[in-house]
Structure 1
Amino acid sequence: MSPTTAIIYTRFSSSEQSKGYSLERQRSLGLEFAASKGWHVESTITDAGRSAFHGTNRLEGSALHQFELEAKNGLHRGKVLLAENVDRLSRQGPKAAARLIWGLNEAGVDVATFHDGMIYRAKENGEVMDILLLVMSALNAHQESDKKSKRTSASWKRRFSQIADGTQTAPVPNMPLWVDRTEAGMVLNKHRTAVLNDIYDLYIDGVGIHRIVTILHERGEPSWTPPEQRRGNNGWFYSYIYRLLTKRTVLGEYVTSDGKTLSTSFWPQAISTEKWNRARAALAMRKGNQITTKTQGNRNLLSQMVVCDKCGGGAHFRHQIDKGQTYTKKSGEVVTYKRNDHRRLRCDRARRKHNCDNGTILNYDVVERTVLQEMLPLLIDKRGINTVADKLREQIADLRRDRNADIARLDNLIDAIADGGSKAIIQRIAALEGSIETQTTAINSAEKALELESAKPSGDDDIALIATLKNDLTSECDEVRVYTRGRVNMSLRRVIKRIVITTTGCFRVEPDEFSWWIFDADGTMLEGTYVPT
């Protein structure tokens, strides 16, 4: 007896989506086939953007994987799974396709393909011709996918080669969303480039990514994601802003998914190199930051700066707002007693009783006031010499000297080969080539680090900025206060290396590895020393 209940399975891969393949087409043809057989369609299950060639449509989280599990548990016995053809289910070769279909048959599920009208029934061992047709269909599907994969790979290799040598003229997929293609070539979209620069400026000034997302939504700035994509109508997201801040495409570079730079000027440049480096420096400083939301108001000006002297762990910032205690007198009068708000700093590990017993709890307001009113005047004479940058320059010079020496040795060995070199010389040449490649990689890495370090403002610039923004730190306007405290936090973290909670109820401020000042719980300086860098 034929099954009376059918479940339609539809699927497309990412590449098929771009070519206009329609899930609705698969579903409508499936409904027509089911109607011709007198089957009732119970539901339609879909795997969108999953490849049958790589088997991702059968991995955990896919609709087909879930169906297989349910079938093995007997939930679909007596039903039929209806798909367009075998390659919608599997393109991994005849063995994989046969095992999938026969596995469903053993679970009491028939499998039908409406493209060729085949039905692989659960209650039959299968005719020899049906088995041969299944194997041939699966084999053809696998071979076609394999050819397509090789053609795609060859096409990308050719395209990458043309991008690298500057001969690529045809449009390439995945163009940056701030670039327009015109008859004259690729040009920057004026409005989107302005928005992109605003995003960079906000982040450099200390505004977090979540806050940037909120600002863009408050402005009514439409997202750039195409409407047909999954998130196309859902506005801006943290992940997309982060990609904009980290992808070198904004500099005009074409970088492959594995990080190889093919061209440094393939796209129109939207962000200046100086601004890019400043954003990278800000990203490095903010790495590991806790999310700061608007409701928090960026209250902790010393975020990521305070540590425990005993365990080295970070500090816990607590802002307790006392709403007061309300009670009603016998006379009926309602009275509310309200205490002061409390803002405290203490070792987070000690608070959680995890491998630290530093019991010091500091008044946050005292520490903030001390840093702004006592420490900054002491640091006015601090010069902005960047010792990190100097060390990087020395490192680059040493690496270049070593590389030049190895290149000279390599040239001598190559001359020796021309005169009839031995196998040992050839081995030495290979070793030198490897050494030169390693040195070149190290030089490139150090040069990028130097660019980031050089992009950081000097200590004098930060101190001057903090001084000009002091009045806005306590502004009644949320926008002004949040923005200002974010900028000042970034500047303070460049000026002050750390603030240490001691075990004696005091705190120590260290602008660098050599200078330090100790203050008591009331903010009175006890002792300290300053060593100019």
Structure 2
Amino acid sequence: MAIPRAYSYLRFSTPEQLKGDSFRRQIELSQKYATKHDLELDDTLTLRDLGVSAFRGRNVSEGALGVFIEAVDSGQVRKGSYLLVESLDRLSRDKVHQAFTKFSSLLEKDIIIVTLQDDKIYTHKSLTENFADLMISLAIMFRAHEESLTKSKRIKAAWKGKRIQAQKSGKKLTARCPAWLKLNKEKDTFEIDKDRAKVIKKIFKMTLDGLGKGVIAKRFNKDDIKTFGKSQSWHSSYIQKVLDNPAVMGEYQPMKLETTASNRKRLPDGDSLKDYFPTVIPKETYYKAKEIREGRRVVIGRTGKRFSNLFTGLAICGSCNGSMHYIDKGRGNSYLVCSNSRNGLKCKSHSWRYKSTQAFILITLKEV
């Protein structure tokens, strides 16, 4: 008879917990349980959601719990295998009905779940025949979700209070600021980095002169203008980021992270704080540049019902290995262009007409 296999599931809410005892403790508990009950502790699957929260179910959609469920569904994890967790709240802090659905679905697939904290064994049979097991599991899941929800509300309330105080007193919420600013020695106000501010002003002037973000990035690279971050070159995406940022006219827009099991979005959190940052670009200039940009129509890697770029994420420049972007110049003139060439990064590759390239590739594939 084959020795039953056990899989240890580790989950942390924050990477900082790696510095503590949680990681070592959970590993040790799993090893002790497997030895005591003659189980083979399988480490072929990486089941460590380091820094992935179980609140909103992200560990299922993005992390190791999702990998484990897929392995069970595919048969890679055999029926009768054990999933070892420190406690049920390690599996999910989602809403009770959602957490219970994940929990019970594993049991229905003949996976045995063990909570190492109390050596409690959950099986499909025990859950359906033992009312106490059912109530205990539901109570733990309810408590786990309530704790996370309360913590989330407290953090949001604290930040809201800080924003109100910042509006009244001018006190800065955080040391974080745009790349063209820096916090002063007293840490009570931001100062303008004059050299970087000149670059910001140049970006807006070139935009008002009718130049696009790609051209601006290309010229900056050609003129060896130093970038603000770790990147060695300017890219059109960063130029756009600067042009979109209301911080250039002194506004700070607090953001919040809306998290669901399928995605995460950064959304505005309350009203923006006026005059929070030193002004680098006048409001009139900011909105004029925005108006000019909205009047243009350039599509990169476009996909949709009316158009499908077959090469999105696939086409690579033969000269420099840069990614190829789809550019639509209107009137049927569309091209695949090397991103490095567009940004002036020493790639002399010519653009390729999209329709001709598409036709050639499709004919070639047909002959394979």
Question: Paired residue for 1:271, among 281, 285, 290?
Answer: 281
Which whole-Å deviations, capped at 9, do the CAs of 1:314-354 have from their partners, x for residues lacking one? 423489xxxxxxxxxxxxxxxxxxxxxxxxxxxxxxxxxxx
On the 8 A contact 1:109/1:122 being kept in 2, the answer is yes
| Structure 1 pair 70–181 and aligned structure 2 pair: CA distance change class (3 A) | same
Of residues 242-251 and 43-52 in structure 1, the stretch that sits farther from structure 2 once superposed is 43-52
- 2:83, 2:151 → 1: CA distance? 27
Q: 1:187: how far off? A: 1.7
Q: Secondary structure at the match of 1:43?
A: coil
Matching residue of 1:249: 247
| Structure 1 pair 142–277 and aligned structure 2 pair: CA distance change class (3 A) | closer
Q: Secondary structure at the match of 1:21?
A: helix
- 1:123, 1:75 → 2: CA distance? 20
Question: Paired residue for 1:208, among 192, 207, 212?
Answer: 212
On the 8 A contact 2:251/2:274 being kept in 1, the answer is yes
Matching residue of 1:497: none
Which whole-Å deviations, capped at 9, do the CAs of 1:166-216 have from their partners, x for residues lacking one? 325253375334332220522223444344334334444444334545566
Matching residue of 1:316: 332
Q: Secondary structure at the match of 2:43?
A: strand
On the 8 A contact 1:105/1:120 being kept in 2, the answer is no
| Structure 1 pair 290–139 and aligned structure 2 pair: CA distance change class (3 A) | closer
Matching residue of 2:137: 134
- 1:107, 1:278 → 2: CA distance? 60
| Structure 1 pair 3–95 and aligned structure 2 pair: CA distance change class (3 A) | farther
Q: Secondary structure at the match of 1:180?
A: strand
On the 8 A contact 1:11/1:23 being kept in 2, the answer is no
1:186 aligns with 2:174: no
Question: Paired residue for 2:229, among 211, 214, 224?
Answer: 224
Q: 1:255: how far off? A: 2.8
Q: Secondary structure at the match of 2:280?
A: coil
- 2:298, 2:239 → 1: CA distance? 16
Q: Secondary structure at the match of 1:265?
A: coil
On the 8 A contact 1:10/1:44 being kept in 2, the answer is no
In the TM superposition, what are the counterparts of 1:1-150 in structure 2 within 5 Å?
A: 3-12=4-13, 16=14, 20-22=16-18, 28-36=24-32, 37-38=34-35, 39-47=41-49, 51-59=53-61, 62-77=63-78, 78-114=80-116, 116=117, 118-122=119-123, 125=126, 131-150=134-153
- 1:75, 1:26 → 2: CA distance? 28
Q: Secondary structure at the match of 1:111?
A: strand
Question: Paired residue for 2:295, among 239, 261, 285?
Answer: 285
| Structure 1 pair 157–171 and aligned structure 2 pair: CA distance change class (3 A) | closer
| Structure 1 pair 208–64 and aligned structure 2 pair: CA distance change class (3 A) | farther
On the 8 A contact 1:213/1:237 being kept in 2, the answer is yes
On the 8 A contact 1:58/1:65 being kept in 2, the answer is yes
Show structure 2 runs of 5+ residues with no match: 36-40, 255-266, 302-316, 320-327, 336-342, 345-368
Q: Secondary structure at the match of 1:171?
A: coil
**What is the TM-score normalised by the length of structure 2?**
0.62
Q: 1:148: how far off? A: 1.1
Q: 1:155: how far off? A: 2.0
Query: In structure 1, what residue type is equivalent to 2:277?
Result: W
On the 8 A contact 2:122/2:133 being kept in 1, the answer is no
- 2:236, 2:212 → 1: CA distance? 10
Q: 1:104: how far off? A: 0.9
> Percent identity of the aligned residues?
24
On the 8 A contact 2:46/2:64 being kept in 1, the answer is no
Q: 1:3: how far off? A: 3.5
Q: 1:244: how far off? A: 1.8
1:199 aligns with 2:215: no
| Structure 1 pair 147–250 and aligned structure 2 pair: CA distance change class (3 A) | same
On the 8 A contact 1:9/1:44 being kept in 2, the answer is no
| Structure 1 pair 157–66 and aligned structure 2 pair: CA distance change class (3 A) | same
Q: 1:121: how far off? A: 4.3
Which whole-Å deviations, capped at 9, do the CAs of 1:213-266 have from their partners, x for residues lacking one? 5566674845537xxxxxxx7976654432321121211112344486443211
| Structure 1 pair 55–250 and aligned structure 2 pair: CA distance change class (3 A) | same
On the 8 A contact 2:162/2:173 being kept in 1, the answer is no
Q: What is the count of residue pairs matched by the alignment?
A: 288
- 1:318, 1:155 → 2: CA distance? 51
CA RMSD after TM alignment: 4.1
Q: Secondary structure at the match of 2:332?
A: strand
**What is the TM-score normalised by the length of structure 1?**
0.45
Query: In structure 2, what residue type is equivalent to 1:315?
Result: R
| Structure 1 pair 279–133 and aligned structure 2 pair: CA distance change class (3 A) | same
